[in-house]
A and B are shown apart, each in its own frame.
Chain A
Amino acid sequence: MVSGTVMLACSLLFAQVQRPGEYPRGVKPSPMMNFFVTSEPIGDGGNLGGLAGADAHCQTLAAAVGAGNRTWHAYLSTQARPGKPAVNARDRIGTGPWYNFKGEMIAQDLAHLHGDTMELAHQGNNLNKLTGLTEKGQIVPGLYDYSDPRDNDWSYAKNTRFSTRHEMLTGTRTDGTAFTDAQDHTCDNWTSNASPASGRDGDLNASDGRLNAQIGFPDRNGGGSGSWNSAHGTRGCAQEDLPKTHGIGLFYCFATN
């Protein structure tokens, strides 16, 4: 009885206070959830085992919170290779509308999600720091949440869920399609964990030819634009390279049905 009262009072007092990284107490994902940010990386940098490996990660995480009845795909593009056409992230995720852990709408359809027209692009979709939730309902820690120099160090980041980790792998341009230039933007189509030669880590647009992944921000904070799907590249593709710019290899998952 007393503990019930306390819990009730607490839930009222802290109703608005769910800090980044924390799990919401006693709340399950909305049955409508067909979008989430992965709560954990695969852990091998840009090597996700290709699109199939990334999709399987989405499916496993979804199943663990009771949402495995849907078919989940990772929001990732792959670039064209000899004999293999490019795959566009936007063509992999169904047609929407998509809802997050709380049942809040992220976007109505593909055009709204990506801002296909000037009008839609300026309006923007509804993905932001408070809606870009993991399958466990967490807000993804972003810039300044618990700023710590160790955020850039994987050996620290892997042991806490509170390090800054707001860079989502996408390998995608702002319109949701694959890059068509000669540079790598997908860690070799999500199969590489290579780290660049030393001294080649200055340019986040990868004009130096190193393997890297294009990323976006669910919290819309950073990279000079706050783009949710295409802000800049990473230092490299090793797991240790990703935290150098405040990512850990998380990505977006969408259900196609």
Chain B
Amino acid sequence: MAKKSIFILAACLLLAQQDSPTAQFNTQGITPPAGSNPSPAKMTFFVTSIGMGKGGDLGGLAGADAHCQALAAAVGAGSHTWHAYLSTQARPGQPAINARDRIGTGPWFNWSFAQLGAPQNAVISANLAELHGDTLVQAQRGSNLFKQSTRNEHGQLINGVGDTPPIQHEILTGSKWDGRAYDDNADHTCNNWTSSTIGSAQVGHSDRIGNGSSWNSSNATKGCSQAALESTGGAGLFYCFAIN
């Protein structure tokens, strides 16, 4: 049986090779811009490499911000002040908070190394208007977040549609496409990021694939548990931006 499996695998590899490009993932062509000195310390944007493990319960905005800060510090980018890109909805005595109002003014840079072959700090977006598509033309052009630029704090890509599972492209935002909080009565924020059971969170797609191509507001999760997030291609990851 084992022998047969090996045979099949070998045959598969042979078949696959018949149609393979000669140069795979040759990274020679990509070098940092002249005069730049890329480093993780210059990173001002990343997707969390891991969630907080409790679904939509992030310990509120404070807990999510602390997660961003801790992950950044672990890779030498802790000198910035980091905020999670998350909105919260209005409650009695508590006004709503818009994700877009929490992240400074840009421009924001990522950090990439692993799959580019050379270190880079690539521009994610120049300002809030480009990031959110504030004008119709900006919105039609699209946000400046691409699958290849939307990386975690280690510079790694986020598994998206078509990649090897688990797919983790559903990124928690709790936001409308303009980066603002919802003002209806439905839950879009797992009860302002405190619920790991009932409720729902609005998510965007880091690879911009699925129900259109929005990075910050494409669909709602089925629930707020970790399992519910994972059932639709999420992992409870979120975007972190440095405000300084």
Contacts and interface: CB of A to CB of B under 8 A. Distances in A.
Interface of A: 5-7, 9-10, 13-14, 16-17, 19, 21-23, 25, 114-115, 117-119, 121-130, 143-144, 146-149, 151, 160, 162, 173-175, 220-222, 224-228, 230-231
Given A128-B208, A130-B161, A144-B116, A6 B12 contact: yes
Interface in B94-145: 115-117, 123, 130, 133, 136-137, 139-144
Interface stretch (B22-30, B44-52, B75-83, B187-195): B22-30
Given A121-B133, A121-B139, A146-B23, A226 B144 contact: yes
Contacts, number: 139
A122 B213 CA distance: 8
B11 A10 contact: yes
A226 B29 contact: no
Contact of B140 (A9, A144, A174): A174
B199 to A, nearest CB: 23
B177 A122 contact: yes
**Overall SS of chain A's interface:** loop
Contacts of A10: 8, 11-12, 15-16
Nearest to B117: A147
Given A6-B8, A146-B21, A226-B143, 16 more contacts: A10-B12, A13-B9, A19-B20, A21-B21, A118-B136, A119-B177, A122-B217, A124-B214, A144-B116, A146-B25, A147-B26, A149-B29, A160-B21, A162-B21, A226-B142, A230-B141
Interface residues of B, number: 50
A146 B142 CA distance: 25
Given A126-B212, A144-B116, A220-B208, A121 B21 contact: no
B148 A128 contact: no
Given A118-B136, A162-B23, A227-B141, A9 B147 contact: no
Contacts of A227: 140-142
**Overall SS of chain B's interface:** loop
A130 B161 CA distance: 8
Contact of A146 (B24, B149, B164, B217): B24
A16 B163 CA distance: 7
B209 interface: yes
Given A6-B12, A14-B12, A225 B144 contact: yes
Contact of A16 (B23, B24, B162, B178): B162
B185 interface: no
Contacts of B27: 147
Contacts of A114: 140
A200 B217 CA distance: 41
B174 to A, nearest CB: 16
A175 to B, nearest CB: 6
Listed residue (A16, A121, A228) with the most chain B CB atoms within 10 angstroms of its CB: A121
Nearest to A17: B16
A97 to B, nearest CB: 14
B19 interface: yes
Contacts of B143: 225-226
Contacts of B214: 122-124
A123 B213 CA distance: 6
B37 interface: no
Interface string B2-20: 0000001101100110011
Contacts of A222: 146
A130 B210 CA distance: 11
A173 B116 CA distance: 31
A75 to B, nearest CB: 15
B36 interface: no
A17 B19 CA distance: 12
Contact of B8 (A9, A121, A144): A9
